């Protein structure tokens, strides 16, 4: 059990990639706090690993709720940000409201969650942040993904800043699609 004794907070932890991360971490002995806006999915997730997975019904943009949750957690070793959405727009037809919504979910939620829990992650000097993203930020142009791909570049820069705030410790960026998978560990400040 590689994660035995560790505590992880996973955003969108009951759906998509977050679901699989929650299950895998629990399987490796990690105590998981899964956050998701869908209580039905959270109930199913908790039933799969009773005792190791606790759940919180909350959207990834609930900054007040995240601060409140962080104040109730005694220890946190790992933050996993998996909350994201995709939009299909070109630069010519992407409405500002879509741009803002994609930014809020894919970038701002990562910032707000990290900000709320950084004091916990730095408390014992061993915290890690794992941010999931898309390979679209590494490709030179993805059709009809204007807001989605552009804002992923921003999340890459945020990882660098979080690494500094963690005292140079690990920010693990995971980028994934069906054909390609890349793992980048940002650890340049040690």
**What number is the average pLDDT over the span 106-131?**
86
The mean-pLDDT minimum among 34-43, 138-147, 156-165, 178-187 falls in: 178-187
Q: How confident is the model at residue 78 (pLDDT cuts 50, 70, 90)?
A: very high
Provide the edge-to-edge strand list for the sheet that holds 171-176: 53-57, 31-36, 7-11, 78-81, 128-133, 171-176, 181-186
User: pLDDT tens, 106-115?
Assistant: 888 988 998 9
Mean pLDDT taken over the chain: 77
Which comes out higher in pLDDT, residue 36 or 180?
36
What whole-number distance in Å separates Cα of residue 12 and Cα of residue 37? 7
Q: Which residues contact 68 (CB under 8 A, 6 or more apart)?
A: none
To which H or E segment does residue 153 belong? helix 146-165
pLDDT grade, residue 102 (50/70/90)? confident
Catalytic residues: 148
Segment (H or E) for 68? helix 63-72
């Amino acid at each position: 059990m590689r994660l035995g004794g560790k505590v992880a907070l996973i955003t969108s932890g009951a759906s998509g990639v977050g679901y699989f991360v929650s299950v895998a971490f629990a399987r490796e002995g990690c105590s998981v706090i899964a956050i998701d806006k869908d209580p039905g999915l959270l109930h199913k997730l908790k039933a799969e690993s009773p005792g190791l997975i606790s759940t919180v019904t909350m959207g990834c943009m609930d900054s007040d709720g995240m601060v409140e949750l962080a104040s109730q957690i005694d220890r946190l070793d790992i933050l996993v940000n998996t909350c994201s959405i995709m939009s299909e727009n070109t630069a010519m037809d992407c409405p500002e409201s879509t741009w803002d919504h994609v930014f809020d979910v894919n970038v701002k939620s990562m910032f707000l969650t990290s900000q709320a829990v950084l004091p916990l992650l730095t408390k014992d000097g061993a915290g890690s942040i794992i941010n999931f993203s898309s390979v679209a930020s590494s490709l030179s142009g993805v059709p009809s993904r204007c807001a989605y791909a552009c804002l992923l570049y921003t999340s890459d820069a945020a990882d660098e800043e979080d690494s500094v705030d963690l005292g140079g410790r690990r920010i693990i960026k995971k980028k994934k699609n069906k054909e390609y998978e890349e793992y980048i560990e940002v650890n340049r400040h040690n």
